[in-house]
Structure 1
Amino acid sequence: MKDSDIARFRDQIETRLAEIDAEDALGRSGQATVELDQQAIGRLSRQDALQSQAMARATHVRRDVERRRLRAALERIREGEFGYCEDCGDEIAQARLALDPGVTRCISCANG
């Protein structure tokens, strides 16, 4: 893989990491503890708020997993291992990396 390709992937990863951080900042309020007065608001409204809180937390977990995968990809770039399958050592197709730069296996190994 050319240095220009690596630089493009690095930029793509860093841009996505910045987006994830921004999304986290926006989602923090949705993860806050739900405190509703049931007599003033009602049981169903509290259930809706609890469900929204659970969804916000699940979204945060998904973003955190993606963040770890992308940081690992940056580490592979620094080590010169980016773009190579962790199982067989072959190059991972650039089209596959463009869709998800955090992938660690070529399509053959990913399919089993």
Structure 2
Amino acid sequence: MTRDRGSASLWVAMAATTICVVFAAVLAMGQAVVARHRAAAAADLAALAAADHALLGSADACRRAVDVASAQGAEVVRCALSGGIADVTARAAFGPYAPTVRARAGPPLTTLPPGGGEAVP
């Protein structure tokens, strides 16, 4: 008999453990990426809604941002309006992750006249 008897079981157990650890790490990274994308999408949509309502002269533009973000499964952490520009920070929880993402929306600073030409402020 050789002294290697039973070593294959040990190698299989170590390989299985390594595969499980790698799989768990990949799942955790995937969950973090999904959480970040959800927060970014909610912040973008909330900022667009707030900017749209601010340009229309609505006094409750930030309330609209909160409604849009909550419909996306997120919460608005901060909403600030400066003229027609909305600056929204949203947080979306997914699993153990809750990233916070900031988005801004509003009219362009310069617009082009019809038919092209130079930008007019």
**Which TM class, normalised by the smaller chain length?**
0.3 to 0.5
Higher helix share: 1
Q: Which of structures 1 and 2 has the bigger CA Rg?
A: 2
Higher strand share: 2
TM-score by length of 1: 0.38
TM-score by length of 2: 0.35
